[in-house]
Structure 1
Amino acid sequence: MISPDRALQILRDEGCSEKVIVHCRAVSEYASEIAEKLAASGKTVDIELVIIGGLLHDLGRSRSHGIDHAVIGADIAMQLGLDPLIVNIIKKHIGAGITREEAKELGLPDDDYMPSTLEEKIVAHADNFISGNEKISMVQLRQKMKQKRFSDESTARIILLAEEIGVY
């Protein structure tokens, strides 16, 4: 596993803005808090993977700020030879995931972008609750989803993920 310092250097080397890096640090910190709480409650979670995944989840924002940034980031991570577990966190962090059908509608490569491991779910969840570098409430998250015109299905999935994780 790479170190947090190496992850931050990758973000810089790939051209992520300081604003994106600050956001990634905040997501990683919150994801780490969630992982530690879940571990303390008896769940098996790779906290180090969550920290690195949180730092690198928006790697693709070095090239795009569209929904495709997850795919682009996963491609960059693969080219850099990063652990496939990190690649999957990057690929599956958007909202509470994107189904194969939704990916097709969005013009993304034919794949399933739904988080399946606890670590993938924690990073996606943490990213939902960090706006810029500030943690937001469930009420604020619902307002944000309404403003951005999230589909009812996407909104429901994000809320279900929050309930599954149980820390927010």
Structure 2
Amino acid sequence: MNPLALIDRYYPPGTLAHAVLLRHSTRVAARATAVAARLRCPVDLPFVEEAALLHDIGILYTDAPELGCSGTLPYLAHAYKGRELLESEGLARHALVCDRHIGVGLSAAEIAARHLPLPARDMFPVTLEEQIVTYADLFFSKNPQENDRERSFAEVRSSVERYGAEKLQILDAWYERFGP
């Protein structure tokens, strides 16, 4: 499976959306594979790299002109739309990473209570590989104004903290396991 060829199929090279997605995803993939390589337990390293490259493939369906995306859906929808796209490509395992990578994860109850534009189902990263990609994603924005700057853990922690103590506990546990 060639994740870059798949990205090129949905995002024409030379477009802003292609550049933004590729820049962000390659940064996330580099961090995720570095985290995976440090762990002293079995990790599917090729899968981590592929999933990190594809985790945001659903942004093309969103209304995010600053990212070169002219879809009609709210930005959060990129998670489940990415899942649908990758499932249609026969990549069910990769699709779950798309679906479950928002923040440190979302519960069905939280989605309903906050009226988020997502299916009302649990969307937590379950497997070690899903958690690694989700963790790595927290350190990078797709906003072109950030110029590929990697956020510090303190910045990531501050961002997650506003969603509650439970989310912060998940992040802190990941930091303990995956490192800075």
TM range (shorter): 0.7 to 0.9
Larger Rg: 2
Report how far residue 164 of structure 1 moved: 4.8
CA distance, structure 2, for counterparts of residue 97 and residue 33 of structure 1: 22
Partners of 2:7 and 2:57 within 8 A in 1: no
Task: Give the aligned partner of residue 86 of structure 2.
Answer: 77
Matched positions, count: 160
CA 1:124–1:18: 2 relative to 1, 3 Å: same
- Report % sequence identity: 27
What TM-score do the two structures reach when normalised by structure 1?
0.83
- CA deviations over 1:42-77 (Å, ceiling 9, x no partner): x11100110011001111111125212101111111
Looking at structure 2, the residues matched to 5 and 59 of structure 1 have their Cα atoms a distance apart, in angstroms, of 11
Aligned pairs (5 A) from 1:60-99:
60-64=58-62, 66-82=75-91, 84-99=92-107
Query: Is there any run of 5+ residues in structure 1 with no aligned partner, and where?
Result: none
Counterpart of 1:138 (choices 153, 164, 169) is: 153
Correspondence for 1:126 = 136
Aligned amino acid, residue 118 of structure 1? L
- Aligned residue in 1 for 2:23: 22
Q: 2: distance between equivalents of 1:4 and 1:89?
A: 14
Matched residue SS, 1:135:
coil
Across the aligned residues of Structure 1 and Structure 2, the Cα RMSD in angstroms comes to 2.3
The whole-number CA distance in structure 2 between the counterparts of 1:13 and 1:81 is 21
Per-residue Cα deviation, 1:122-157 (whole angstroms, up to 9, x for no partner) = 0000001123433221112234446xxx32146415
CA contact 1:96–1:161 (8 Å) conserved in 2: no
Q: Aligned to 2:51, what secondary structure does the other structure show?
A: helix
